[in-house]
Amino acid sequence: MFDFFLSTAHYAKAAYLNWRRTQVAYEELNSLDDRSLADIGITRSDIPYLFARDIHDAARAQATGLVGNDNRRAA
């Protein structure tokens, strides 16, 4: 029984730390200006989408053109 509570506490701690890392990354991206976001290939409107879904699904959608991003320039 003690192991159950210990594993539940461990899972809760891991879930909280994962959520907190996600929040920090979200806030960090939101703090960038539009030019910096364009340099890494995303727009401000892409930020919530990237965090609302699985990151692999989001990357796949952007690669196939499902997420519009007109900030890319030819080198």
Each residue of 25-57: pLDDT tens digit? 999 999 999 999 999 999 999 888 888 766 667
What pLDDT score was predicted for residue 49?
A: 82
Burial class (CB in 10 A: 0-12, 13-18, 19+), 42: buried
**Per-domain residue ranges of the chain:** 2-63
DSSP 10-24: HHHHHHHHHHHHHHH
What pLDDT score was predicted for residue 75?
A: 45
Going by C-alpha positions, the residue among 70, 34, 66, 74 that lies closest to residue 50 is: 66
Per-residue tokens: 9: 């506490």
Does 74 have pLDDT greater than 50?
no
Q: What is the pTM of this model?
A: 0.59
